[in-house]
Structure 1
């Protein structure tokens, strides 16, 4: 299983955007006419295997993750709970920010 990882940096912080490999470019519908697009611009950086992504998940304080596999991995690592997840069809999504 592989994931796209793109690091977004600003002057004061950075966020790791991580998505399941096979959902890049897809749009998913949520509740109340919401939707999310897993855009190449935001998510498509380097393609990494699970073992490398585990280190990234543990290292970064700010995460934006989408996809069944990456969200499931974050849950197994106890980084997130079910209550932290928003579902867009079959694409769970979670954002973690340290303020």
Structure 2
């Protein structure tokens, strides 16, 4: 999985995606998600490292079936709040 971490004024922003969706655009009706290298590009990490990054995140943006399912399994995302966009999954969370 590809992960990036950025410190912002609002806290730590973590983006993560499956490698096969990086650079792709997914559309479903009015919803369009472009998984750009500028936003989602980062380092390749294993599942444990992804979960560790999510544990520190204030905000997370996730795209791809594997990374979203991992976030669900780890308890960071509720499956009911996941969007299916075209052939992929998208989820976000905000820790208050």
Residue 52 in 1 paired to residue 49 in 2? yes
2:57–2:95 CA contact under 8 A, matched in 1:
no
TM-score (norm 2): 0.89
Match of 2:64 in 1: 67
TM-superposed deviation, 1:27: 0.6
TM-superposed deviation, 1:34: 2.1
Match of 1:24 in 2: 22
Gaps of 5+ in 1: none
TM-superposed deviation, 1:7: 1.4
TM-score (norm 1): 0.87
Residue 43 in 1 paired to residue 40 in 2? yes
Q: Among 10, 13, 23, which residue is 1:12 paired with?
A: 10
CA RMSD of aligned residues (A): 1.4
TM-superposed deviation, 1:52: 1.2
Number of residue pairs matched by the alignment: 96
TM-superposed deviation, 1:14: 2.2
Gaps of 5+ in 2: none
